[in-house]
């Protein structure tokens, strides 16, 4: 159980190059137009065709078809009820596969890692974050930090790997305290695959990936991207004596009772457990969208009866929108410990470091 819990969202990865949810489809469409050799172009086309068809049929609906989360949720619901206006029932599954590939490819193309001295470095903001975690987990007080993230990408994972304290994804109970950092990826991750027999989630650690597929021509590159999600089928990962499915485990942030979230529930219950006993909660780059009912429930159930909390600090550059959402979320017991700062992720890190500086 961690004394300090960080909650990070899309705003944190935006600084590493990832588009925000509202810009995601525009960025993917731009890639489709600009990159003539784009792999999986047919998947991109299939997704945009399905969105256009949905737009045509549902011109008066409330669906926000410019927002990837809303589109993902609509497609997923279409799969469950076997009905997606404008797309035939038998094609819904392939539209969803296409959407996962579009998300993976867009994140791979937009999040690039700087290369210096023949070595791949994390993006500066995540490098500072991993450095802060290492400082907080100092010799005197180990294992005091854990991270809950809403992001699928690997920018944080790479930074932790680089700092020699890789992520423990909390997918199983076996951990090595003090070595790995608990990282709960609530909506899945580009480096997670499903066992093709039982459906359990099997993570592919960055370290194992780079050993198997070293990035070529490092000495000649300034930036590189990690194509890990497209190599899952050659990962050699096994479970139940079988291989894994070829596409990464990424789920829309909507409540879904269909069993689709199999495996992720372990991550969620761990996150609720961490929230239940944290003394300090720092949120950055997560805007708590009105539609994110799932996180509201998780937080409410995880923080019931909470009285020990010392700090609940939220950092976001959009104070007008985000501050009232969090004020509404938190219970009266926490209100006195709530603080909001109009800051980006990279700006928040030194503030948190300063707060704990006297302990070092
Ligand atoms: Zn299995």
Cβ atoms 128, 15 nearer than 8 A: no
Compute the distance from residue 307 Cα to the ligand 1 centre, in Å.
40
Cβ atoms 163, 134 nearer than 8 A: yes
String of DSSP letters for 10-46: HHHHHTTTPPPHHHHHHHHHHHHHH-TT-TTHHHHHH
- For 68-113, the pLDDT digits (tens) are 888 998 898 888 889 888 889 889 999 999 999 999 999 999 999 9
Distance CA(111)–CA(103), nearest Å, equals: 12
From the list 274, 26, 11, the residue with the least C-alpha distance to 150 is: 11
DSSP state of 143: S
Compute the distance from residue 302 Cα to the ligand 1 centre, in Å.
29
Compute the distance from residue 242 Cα to the ligand 1 centre, in Å.
7
Tens of pLDDT along the chain (360 residues) come to 788 999 999 999 999 999 988 899 999 999 999 998 999 999 999 999 999 988 876 665 667 888 888 899 889 888 888 988 888 988 999 999 999 999 999 999 999 999 998 899 999 999 999 999 999 987 667 788 999 999 999 999 999 999 999 999 999 866 556 689 999 999 999 999 999 999 999 999 999 999 999 998 888 889 999 999 999 999 999 999 999 999 999 988 765 555 556 788 889 889 988 888 889 999 999 999 877 777 888 888 777 655 678 999 999 999 999 999 999 888 777 888 999 999 999 999 999 999 987 765
Element (H, E) at 186: none
Distance CA(243)–CA(195), nearest Å, equals: 6
Compute the distance from residue 184 Cα to the ligand 1 centre, in Å.
21
- For 129-173, the pLDDT digits (tens) are 999 999 998 766 778 899 999 999 999 999 999 999 999 999 986
Cβ atoms 18, 323 nearer than 8 A: no
Q: What's the whole-model pTM score? A: 0.94
Compute the distance from residue 204 Cα to the ligand 1 centre, in Å.
15
Compute the distance from residue 86 Cα to the ligand 1 centre, in Å.
35
Compute the distance from residue 239 Cα to the ligand 1 centre, in Å.
4
From the list 15, 351, 343, 310, the residue with the least C-alpha distance to 159 is: 15
Compute the distance from residue 203 Cα to the ligand 1 centre, in Å.
12
Give the tokens for residue 230: 């497209």
Q: Which domains does the chain possess?
A: 4-16+115-359 (3.40.50.1220), 21-110 (no CATH)
Beta carbons within 10 angstroms of residue 128's beta carbon: 18
Compute the distance from residue 238 Cα to the ligand 1 centre, in Å.
8
Compute the distance from residue 130 Cα to the ligand 1 centre, in Å.
32
Give the tokens for residue 252: 């829309």
Sole residue written with tokens 């994140």 = 107
Compute the distance from residue 323 Cα to the ligand 1 centre, in Å.
42
CA 271, 272, 277, 279 torsion-angle sign: positive
Compute the distance from residue 51 Cα to the ligand 1 centre, in Å.
34
Compute the distance from residue 202 Cα to the ligand 1 centre, in Å.
9
Compute the distance from residue 211 Cα to the ligand 1 centre, in Å.
24
């Amino acid at each position: 159980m961690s004394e300090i819990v960080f909650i990070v969202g899309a705003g944190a990865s935006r600084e590493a190059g990832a588009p925000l949810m509202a810009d995601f489809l525009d960025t993917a469409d731009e890639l489709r137009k600009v990159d003539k050799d784009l792999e999986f172009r047919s998947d991109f086309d299939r997704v945009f065709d399905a969105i256009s068809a949905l737009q045509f049929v549902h011109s008066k609906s409330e669906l926000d078809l410019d927002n990837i989360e809303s589109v993902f949720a609509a497609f997923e619901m279409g799969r469950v009820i076997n009905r997606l206006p404008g797309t035939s029932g038998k094609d819904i599954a392939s539209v969803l596969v296409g959407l996962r590939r579009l998300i993976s490819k867009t994140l791979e193309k937009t999040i690039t890692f700087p290369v210096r001295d023949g070595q791949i470095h994390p993006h500066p903001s995540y490098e500072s974050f991993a450095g802060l975690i290492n400082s907080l987990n100092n010799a005197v007080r180990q294992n005091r930090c854990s991270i809950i993230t809403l992001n699928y990408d690997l920018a944080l994972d790479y930074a932790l790997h680089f700092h020699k304290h890789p992520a423990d994804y909390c997918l199983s109970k076996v951990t090595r305290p003090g070595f790995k950092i608990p990282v709960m990826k609530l909506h899945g991750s580009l480096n997670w695959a499903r066992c093709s027999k039982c459906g359990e989630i099997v993570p592919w650690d960055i370290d194992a990936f780079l050993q198997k597929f070293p990035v070529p021509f490092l000495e000649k590159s300034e930036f590189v991207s990690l194509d890990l999600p497209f190599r899952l089928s050659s990962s050699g990962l096994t479970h139940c004596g079988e291989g894994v499915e070829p596409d990464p485990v990424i789920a829309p942030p909507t409540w879904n009772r269909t069993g689709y979230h199999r495996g992720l529930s372990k991550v969620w219950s761990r996150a609720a457990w961490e929230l239940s006993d944290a003394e300090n909660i720092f949120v950055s780059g997560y805007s708590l969208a009105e539609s994110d009912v799932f996180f509201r429930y998780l937080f409410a159930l995880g923080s019931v009866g909470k009285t020990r909390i010392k700090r609940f600090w939220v950092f976001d550059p959009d104070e007008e929108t985000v501050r009232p959402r969090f004020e509404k979320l938190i219970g009266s017991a926490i209100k006195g410990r709530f603080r909001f700062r109009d800051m980006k992720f990279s700006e928040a890190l030194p503030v948190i470091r300063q707060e704990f500086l006297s302990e070092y």
